[in-house]
Structure formats: structure tokens, C-alpha cells
Structure 1
């Protein structure tokens, strides 16, 4: 995209002598870091007097680190936001210039929350840059006693544990949807679960009360597999998760009704 727009850029693979030689030749008033994914070496800050800003998709000091959006969804947060901070050697620890908050809806997932962060973050960044240019904005320190860190995600984190609560399972599905996708196994087939919910409401509860199953059954039990009702899976404390969208390994994303039709899923089987 930079090439199309005629904008100078440096492709960074590693911070070697070649990079620093190119960096010192640049002329700029400020640097904005967004989803960079690398720790900046201290040397780089000594090569310019420009102001360094970081656009971070969380309400710092909550969720410093690499996965703030995923962490917000995993924890079922109802509010998230974007922080614009000073860049310092310690990760995401710089003073805060400004923050913006927005709601996290029940149907938000990783993709939709990323889009919200971009939308609100872009507007906030332009405001901050204008205020800094006019010398009308200073930063304030983060509350170190309130720091919460986010962590790198491993392959093991993507596996659904049906011994968890219904809310925890649904939050995991939201946090990894649509990519890389939380998954489970069914008859040895790896299946990504991309949308799910916790059944609720008076009508739904009355229906669930009528379902007959042994409370000692293993979690992951397919309690119901009906084209109208959908797929209901037993989890911790006999709670249930309603599966709405799935992606069998090597296949496209399909609805629960299409999965029931195409794969002949039946009540009494197990997701693992």
C-alpha cells in the first residue's frame, strides 16, 4: 500500500546495522506505533528527538502486552477502549495522552472488536496529534498498582474445555473468532466453533428443563441436535452452550443446521 501511495518505508526484519543506517536518514516530527509486534531497542530512541506514540487497543494499564483484545473477550469485559501512550523501553508502560471507551456487546468477537478499536483509535489519534502539535497536551502516568498483563496465545489455548462454564466457553469462542478459531474434536474431526451463545430467557429455560439427560454424563455431550433448536452441548454444572456456526477441518463455515444435515450429528454423541 505504501508503494501505491508513493510513501517511503523500511521493511523491518531485524534491527541490524542496515536498519539503523536507513533510520537516521529519515526526517520526521513524530512516530506512531500500531500493532508492531516487536520490542523496540533502546538505541532507536537516541537517534531522534521526535515524539513516539503508541496506539494500544485497551484501557491501560489493563492488558499491557500482545493480546489485549483477546484478553478482554476471554474475561467477558463489557467495556473496552483504546489508549494513546508514550513509547518507552518497557512494554506498554508509557504515560497516557488520551483514552476512549466503548461498549463490548454480547455478539462482539475478535474481528468486530478489532474494527471498533480501529474506528475509535483513528479518530482519537488525529485529535491527539493536533493537540500535541499545538503543545496543548501532556501525558499522565499509568497506575502501576492496577497493571494487568495479556499474554501470547499458544495452540493449547485454542482447545475448548467442556469442563468450563458456559460463559467461559462462549467467551473463548468469541475471543478467537473468526481467526484462528477455538476448536473441539468430534469423531476425530477437528471442528472450529465460530459462534455460540448461552441459552437464556424464559422460553429457553423451560425447554431446557424438559431435556432428559444423566447429570453424570461427560461434559461435551450433545444434548440436542435439532435443525430448529440447534446444537446444545453440556458443560460444567450441567450448563449448556448453543452452537451456531462451525467450520469442519478443511471445509467452509456452516450453520449448526447445515452441520446436523451434512454430518448426521445426533444427540448422545460427544464433542471432545
Structure 2
């Protein structure tokens, strides 16, 4: 057994849990030669698990660096950070349709290509390269929630359960045959960000188990039922404003589903206020009306009410609703959604 500790890059905020990461190469395990394609945080644990399990990750493909923050400083994608830490080659072509990129991948002779939140569809020319296929780690129980935002959409829709699917990739959007699945409950107060963090770990564990089963010929491929498919479109800021005529449950799901981005909001005293967390109450009143109930910040909905437990006033910091009321007393004409 060979144990190798990756070097530390000494850079400011690398990746949570990456610094000090080590991997073990077990000579008794049949390894595969893998190209890994992924870009954001969701993909990092899957990449780590592949390396840790002893598979030969010969290259990592991710999206190009992007400017971030007020200074527009170029920032590496999280998967690139992880790959550099493990001294693995990183490729950041803007397109996989370029013949020279496809030839580069052929020359690497991968047994399999593993994809997790890469950000682009793979063209047929690449899907056909690895003899053991291209497999994808997807954050839903397919065929439900195909697309870019499966985790957030599951929370927005008030789903009680979700999970991770490992599938063979096809030319369509998340249409390939299912290899394995793992289900988990969604907590009643869980945000999409919290669920995201859980599913990326579940996906990483399932990926390594699935690859081993594929090698041993234990898994069959199951075609998806297209009639049961739903689409998980990318989130937009246009979905953020709250309509207080909806039920408390619907708005609660909106708040959870849009946390951490783009965040649900409403106008209060003609100022924008973000609502990061809330709790459903069995109270009834005029939709949009705000009241102090037992010292808590309460807003009535089309049915039921919400206690605002974490908010962020315009140009302010996050705080709990009770603290906000200390400096902003409520009167009989206090309403949400009343921008003039």
C-alpha cells in the first residue's frame, strides 16, 4: 500500500476539506483510467473519492476561470483547485466540439469518463471514446428533475425525498440509462444549500461503489421512463420575489429552495428585504400583513403565516426577525409587498 499526502498550495481560501487531503493507492484494487469532468463544489467530493480509491485520474476537464467579486479577479473553479492540489492535469477548453480537444481525449485513452456538474453536454464524438462509457453523477432521482438545478427544484416543489442517480450518458439532457440510485429524505427546514452539501457526499460514495460494480459486471442498465421526466431549469433572480397570496407552505419552500442563491425577498416599507429562513405557523390573517406575535416577526400568507427567523434588510447584515423588531416597531399599516 502506498500512501501519498498531497502538497499544500498555501493559498488563501482553497477548498473546504481539501488542505491536507491524502489518497491511498491500493495495489490489490483493479483501477480504471479515468477522465473526470466537473466544475463546481458539487463535483469535488466525487473527484476526491476517485483519487482516494486508487483509480488513475489522468486529467480533469472543467469550465474556464471566471472573474468574481468587486475586483473581478479571476478565480479557479473548485474542481480545478482540487486537481492542482493532487498534481493532476487540468484542461479548460470552452468547447468539447473542437476536433483538437476530442483528439486530445482520444490520446489519453480513458477507460471511462466520469462527469459531475461539468456544465456542458458531451457531444457524441466524446461519448463514443471510452470503452466503458461516460457516466454522470446527477443530483436527483431520475427521470425527475433533469437539468441544471435538480436539487433546488426539488426543494422549491416541496418534495419530501430526493437522491442521487449514476447514469450512462446519452446525447439528450440527462436521458441516459440508469445504473444506480440512492434516496434520501429532505428535511422539513432544509435549504437547497444544505441539501446540496449532503447530496454531493452521497454522490461521491455512490460513484465509487458503482464503478466497482461496473468492473465486476454486477449492474444492469435501466432505461428511463420519459413519460415521468420533469425538467429542472436553472434558477433566475426573477423567481425571488415573494407573492404573499400564496400559502405559507409554498412560500416556505421558495425561501428554502432559493437559499443560498438567489434568495427570496419582498419589499417592506418600500425597501427590499431578503428572507433566508422562516417557519410555518398555523395563524391566519390578511396576506402580506406583518405583526409582532409574542415578540416574533410574523407575516400572514394566503393561508397560514410565516415566522421570519433569518432576514437581511437592504444594505444590512443578516439577523433574526426578533432582533429586527427591536429597532423597527410594527404598526397597523405594516405590509410586505407594498413597494410604491
The TM-score bracket by the shorter chain reads 0.7 to 0.9
Q: Between Structure 1 and Structure 2, which shows a larger proportion of helix residues?
A: 1
2: CA distance between counterparts of 1:154 and 1:232? 27
| Corresponding residue pairs, total | 255
Q: Which residue of 2 aligns with 1:240?
A: 305
SS at match of 1:24: helix
Q: Which residue of 2 aligns with 1:133?
A: 215
Matched, 1:109 2:191: yes
Moved more, 159-168 or 247-256: 247-256
1: CA distance between counterparts of 2:316 and 2:310? 12
Q: Which residue of 1 aligns with 2:16?
A: none
Cα deviation, residue 17, structure 1: 4.2
1:10 aligned to 79, 91, 113, which one? 91
1:20 aligned to 88, 97, 102, which one? 102
> For 1:207-246, what aligned pairs fall within 5 Å after superposition?
208=283, 217=286, 219-222=287-290, 224-225=291-292, 228-237=294-303, 239-246=304-311
Q: Which residue of 2 aligns with 1:270?
A: 335
> For 1:141-220, what aligned pairs fall within 5 Å after superposition?
141-200=223-282, 208=283, 217=286, 219-220=287-288
Moved more, 10-19 or 77-86: 10-19
TM-score norm. by structure 1 comes to 0.87
Moved more, 14-23 or 171-180: 14-23
SS at match of 1:179: coil
Cα deviation, residue 47, structure 1: 3.7
CA contact (8 A) 2:113 2:130 kept: no
Cα deviation, residue 148, structure 1: 1.5
Deviations along 1:216-248, one digit per CA (max 9) or x if unpaired, are: x5x2111x225x5411112114x2111110112
Q: Which residue of 2 aligns with 1:205?
A: none
2: CA distance between counterparts of 1:247 and 1:18? 49
1: CA distance between counterparts of 2:332 and 2:258? 26
Deviations along 1:137-164, one digit per CA (max 9) or x if unpaired, are: 2211112221122222222111111111
Deviations along 1:79-121, one digit per CA (max 9) or x if unpaired, are: 1111111110001111111111111111111111111211221
Q: Which residue of 2 aligns with 1:68?
A: 150
2: CA distance between counterparts of 1:26 and 1:189? 56
Q: Which residue of 1 aligns with 2:167?
A: 85
CA contact (8 A) 2:192 2:258 kept: yes
TM-score norm. by structure 2 comes to 0.70
SS at match of 2:189: coil
Matched, 1:55 2:133: no
Cα deviation, residue 18, structure 1: 4.6
Cα deviation, residue 171, structure 1: 0.3
CA contact (8 A) 2:102 2:125 kept: no
1: CA distance between counterparts of 2:107 and 2:210? 26
RCO higher in 1 or 2 (8 Å CA, sep ≥ 6)? 1
CA contact (8 A) 1:246 1:256 kept: yes
CA pair 183-55 structure 1, distance change in 2 beyond 3 A: same
SS at match of 1:127: helix
> For 1:33-48, what aligned pairs fall within 5 Å after superposition?
33-48=115-130
CA contact (8 A) 2:310 2:319 kept: yes
* Structure 1 stretches lacking a partner, 5+ long: 201-207, 210-214
* Structure 2 stretches lacking a partner, 5+ long: 1-80
SS at match of 2:274: strand
CA RMSD of superposed structures (Å): 1.9
